[in-house]
Amino acid sequence: MSALRADVGIDLGTASVLVYIKGKGIVLKEPSVVAIDQYTNKFLAVGEEARKMLGRTPGNIVAVRPLKDGVISDYSITERMLKYFIQKALGRMWLKPRIIICVPSGITEVEKRAVMEASNEAGASKTYLIEEPIAAAIGAGLDITLPNGNMIVDIGGGTSDVAVISLGGIVVSKSIKTAGDECDEAIIRYIRKKYNMMIGERSAEALKVEIGCAYPFEEEKFMEIKGRNLLTGLPITVTVSSNDMLDALAEPVNEILEAVHEVLEKTPPELSSDISNVGIYLTGGGAMLNGLDRLIEEKTGIPTRLADNAVECVAIGTGKSLDSLAYLEKSMKDSERSKFNR
C-alpha cells in the first residue's frame, strides 16, 4: 500500500516554493506568487505565470505573495497555493501524502501551527516541520549527527538563518528578517534617492542578480535600467554601476554580518574551534550575491564557502530528511511533552 502514498518535502519560501518527492528529487520550483481576481476570489495564475504579473495588473486583479518574512501572512491563499503545488507535483494520489515542511529557526508556536494547518488542509495525511538551517546543512552534504560544530548561514527571500549545528540539533541560532527581499527594497530606495527614478521589484531583482555585490568587483560592471522619472513622471533609462549596488546593499549585508558575529560570540569554544577548521557554509538564493562569501571570510577570519547548489540546498535537505520521519515524529512529540510539563 505504501507505494500508493508519496512522501513529500516542501521548501515553503517567501520567494519560491520547491517540492521534493522521495525517489524522484525536486520536481517543482515556482515563485510563491498568486494572481487573484478580487471580484470572484478566483485564482487566475500561480507561480511563474503570476510572477510575470507583479506590478502589471489591472484594478480587479492582484498579484500577491502570501508569505512575508518567512511566515504566512495570508492563511487562506497559502493553503490554496500549497494545494495547487502539491496536486501539480503529485498528480492523482490514492492516499494522502506525508509532508515535511521547513520553517525559519525563529518561528513562533502560532506560526508553526499555521503552517501545519495549511498543509493538512491542502491535503497532507500528516505534516512534519524541520528548521531551515538543519535542512540546509543536510542539503549541503554535512553530516550533522557527529559531535562537531557546523555553521550554516541560510539566506532566503524573507529571512536569513544563522545557526551552529552539532549532534543533529541547533546549538545557537539567530533568524533575522533581512534577506533577498530586503536587498531588493534597498535597491529600490537607493535608485529613487540617487537617480530620482522609481523601479519595480522585478527590475531591482535583475540589478541584484546581474551586478549586485557585497564586495567590489575587480572590474566595475554596468547595467541599463528603465523606470519612471519622479520629477517628470515620464519613462527614463539610466546606467547603474556595480559600485552603486555596493552602496545600496551595504545596510542589509551589514545586518547579515552582525547576525553571523552574534552567533559566533555565543558559540561554545569547542564548537568554535571546529567551525574555524571546517569553515562557514552559505546556502539559499540570497547567498548567491557576488562577493558575500569573501566579505564574511574577511570580517570573521573563518573560511567561508558557498554550498554546491545553494538555491536548492534547503529543499534537498528537506527531501533527504524524509528518510528520518520516525525520528522527526519522536522529536516533535518530545517538544510537545516538554511544553506541557513546563
Instruction: Please state the separation of Cα 156 from the chain's center in Å.
Output: 3
What's the pLDDT score for residue 323? 83
- Indicate the length of the chain as a whole number: 342
Instruction: Match 538551517 to its residue by C-alpha cell.
Output: 133
What's the pLDDT score for residue 1? 33
Answer yes or no: is pLDDT of 255 > 70.
Answer: yes
**Cell numbers at 265, concatenated:** 560570540
What average pLDDT does the segment 228-249 reach? Answer: 96
What's the pLDDT score for residue 45? 92
Question: Which uninterrupted H or E stretch holds 210?
Answer: helix 201-211
Answer yes or no: is pLDDT of 328 > 80.
Answer: no
What are the E-state strand segments in 89-184?
Answer: 98-103, 126-131, 150-155, 160-166, 169-176
**Rounded Cα gap, residues 117 and 186, in angstroms:** 34
Q: What is the pLDDT of residues 287-326, one digit of tens each?
A: 999 999 999 999 999 999 999 999 999 999 999 998 877 6
What's the pLDDT score for residue 3? 46
Q: Which residues contact 190 (CB under 8 A, 6 or more apart)?
A: 244, 247, 248
Answer yes or no: is pLDDT of 57 > 80.
Answer: yes
What's the pLDDT score for residue 188? 97
For the stretch 42-47, contacts whose Cβ atoms lie closer than 8 Å and that sit 24 or more positions apart, written own/partner, are 43/80, 43/84, 46/81, 46/84, 46/85, 47/17, 47/85
**Rounded Cα gap, residues 83 and 271, in angstroms:** 41
Answer yes or no: is pLDDT of 339 > 50.
Answer: no
**Rounded Cα gap, residues 60 and 47, in angstroms:** 19
Q: Which residues contact 67 (CB under 8 A, 6 or more apart)?
A: 12, 13, 14, 32, 73, 78, 158
Of the spans 37-46, 58-67, 237-246, which averages the highest pLDDT?
Answer: 237-246
Q: What is the mean pLDDT of the chain?
A: 90
What average pLDDT does the segment 40-66 reach? Answer: 89
Answer yes or no: is pLDDT of 340 > 50.
Answer: no
Answer yes or no: is pLDDT of 99 > 80.
Answer: yes
Q: Which residues contact 41 (CB under 8 A, 6 or more apart)?
A: none
Q: What is the pLDDT of residues 176-208, one digit of tens each?
A: 999 999 999 999 999 999 999 999 988 999 999
**Rounded Cα gap, residues 186 and 94, in angstroms:** 47
Answer yes or no: is pLDDT of 34 > 80.
Answer: yes
Instruction: Match 538563518 to its residue by C-alpha cell.
Output: 161
**Rounded Cα gap, residues 138 and 143, in angstroms:** 7
Cβ 16 vs Cβ 31: under 8 Å: yes
Burial tier of 41 (Cβ tally within 10 Å: 0-12, 13-18, 19+): exposed
Under the banding of pLDDT at 50, 70 and 90, the label for residue 338 is very low
What average pLDDT does the segment 112-117 reach? Answer: 92
Q: Which pTM was predicted?
A: 0.89
Phi, psi of 153 (to 5 degrees): -120, 105
Q: What is the pLDDT of residues 130-178, one digit of tens each?
A: 999 999 999 999 998 899 999 999 999 999 999 999 998 999 999 999 9
**Rounded Cα gap, residues 310 and 292, in angstroms:** 13
At 225, is the secondary structure helix, strand, or coil? Answer: strand
Answer yes or no: is pLDDT of 112 > 70.
Answer: yes
**Cell numbers at 119, concatenated:** 498543509
> Can you list the domains of the chain with their CATH numbers?
2-134+314-341 (3.30.420.40), 142-306 (3.30.420.40)
